[in-house]
Structure 1
């Protein structure tokens, strides 16, 4: 867990809707709330299409929010800002993208890609200082100085992602959104990139929002984890608590699907299978959005949106199974 409990970001009832036509709206993110503390890694997980990447991009102001608020160091990210204020904000918050090839300009050399932010923010005075800064960043992410004169297509996926990380670090940010930064990489390379991110966090005091669908890797890098389903937050807990005692039926299903290296344990453990497909975010179910696939769904689940309640210290869940007001129905369902 992060050493301090000082909040860096407060996400309050954040919404991002996309208007498809006159009658249809895609509710990609529909009212999520959570905090991120300084120096920690907050993992955001869920199936493809749950809205986690849209949430990350809305937090970064790459998308304008439809509703809610994102406060960064007490400053509303989506409030109207002057060019000077936006420039300062953009330096503090950086992003590492999922596809390192698509996010790097193929016509620019690596040193110019990394130095782009340095140039925009005027962080050096001479060409030699610029070169020294780029070479230092290349070394920091495990690349050589001569790599600076090459182009993105000359590198492997893992090396390209290191270039993307160096570019994000170039302006000395305090917060980085890592949007599925390892999903496009070979399994053998994924651990190297995660270890690099952890080392950089320790050395530079960075705070991460780490977005992924691979729960096994999220466990190793995250202090706390939030689980999203169909634009809503289902559960938030410390990494240890979430994996040891998942509360939400959706979280339980996700964790039960993680492969275990011990064949004896793998053979005997209970698997929770989620039936059916994810409903459309254009027309989500009433009440609890997971109810159409939940093995424990009750009558109330179709009528009432579950509140996000603290079941025990630092462990929050949005599920009627843990709401005392519905205890009688809970017990009847489980018998």
Structure 2
């Protein structure tokens, strides 16, 4: 019997009103689920709607359409009090470790903010401080870091503080929004390894948002590929890399350098033509058709639906 579904996203859409009465559809009819203990990677170019999807799941944005089920309950239908209580189960780690920490607070104050907001350790200052030290140790920082300020740390250390802050309220589910993209390459692997270690120790479930496909492969069990607000392919990590079906996924994977010079020199690189269309005025039918070498007549008028073409491998493309 498979693991229990923790998060179930059904036909999620998020629109923003922009100047001139126009509408920007950042997330367009997206559906996927994540099981307990799983890491689901969400990848795609900048501006494809990955971060908006994460923020809408966490209710930092209100969904325009669709349903979000967490532990079997529809978050969208919850009242403010219920949503607030849910923050102990769902947390977010932000992309920029420089902008996401309050420069006026010490590390202890930053990490304990969530605990204070949810009424944990009421009147128990020593218990709260012990928990802060425990969290610092978990993320590879030292006791003497507790009373320092964010400007006294490197980028990698700041991201570790952000991870400790997310763990403070003992969540079941963490959305990591491009948590390594602002870090040096030498630090990225350390932070990804930390994510994996914490997942085992704390029994965590992740939505890992990134645009670096090579890094996502190492941490994710399954991967969803987004293009212009829509999910175009979902598969187990290894299967996606070995057998990419959607032309967009194939192009993304062909751009990843291979460390073997002979293989790198001989393989074919798929270069996409043109630019990403505006999400305010996407192409009719398949959004990818204007850049696709395989586009057919039906791609202009029919929106391809995400369907299972092999066991556990879903793709939204008229080629299949």
| Partner in structure 1 of residue 138 of structure 2 | 140
Take 2:78 and 2:36, find their aligned partners in 1: how far apart are those partners? 25
Normalised by the length of structure 1, the TM-score is 0.94
- Establish whether residue 101 from structure 1 lines up as the match of residue 98 from structure 2: yes
**Contact 1:4–1:38, Cα closer than 8 Å, also in 2:** no
Q: How many residues align?
A: 319
Take 1:123 and 1:109, find their aligned partners in 2: how far apart are those partners? 19
Deviation at 1:21, TM superposition (A): 3.4
Gaps of 5+ in 1: 323-335
2:113 to 113, 116, 119: 116
**Contact 2:30–2:231, Cα closer than 8 Å, also in 1:** yes
Take 2:45 and 2:305, find their aligned partners in 1: how far apart are those partners? 22
Take 1:158 and 1:4, find their aligned partners in 2: how far apart are those partners? 35
| Partner in structure 1 of residue 165 of structure 2 | 167
**Contact 1:9–1:35, Cα closer than 8 Å, also in 2:** yes
Take 1:204 and 1:190, find their aligned partners in 2: how far apart are those partners? 21
**Contact 1:135–1:148, Cα closer than 8 Å, also in 2:** yes
Gaps of 5+ in 2: none
Normalised by the length of structure 2, the TM-score is 0.98
| Partner in structure 1 of residue 54 of structure 2 | 56
Matches of residues 4-23 of structure 1 in structure 2 within 5 Å?
4-23=2-21
2:237 to 231, 236, 239: 239
**Contact 2:254–2:270, Cα closer than 8 Å, also in 1:** yes
| Partner in structure 2 of residue 194 of structure 1 | 192
Between 264-273 and 191-200, report the one with greater CA deviation.
264-273
| Partner in structure 2 of residue 41 of structure 1 | 39
**Contact 1:105–1:113, Cα closer than 8 Å, also in 2:** yes
Deviation at 1:22, TM superposition (A): 4.9
Take 2:305 and 2:142, find their aligned partners in 1: how far apart are those partners? 51
Root-mean-square deviation over aligned CA pairs? 1.0
Take 2:287 and 2:84, find their aligned partners in 1: how far apart are those partners? 38
| Partner in structure 2 of residue 89 of structure 1 | 86
Between 119-128 and 194-203, report the one with greater CA deviation.
119-128
| Partner in structure 2 of residue 330 of structure 1 | none
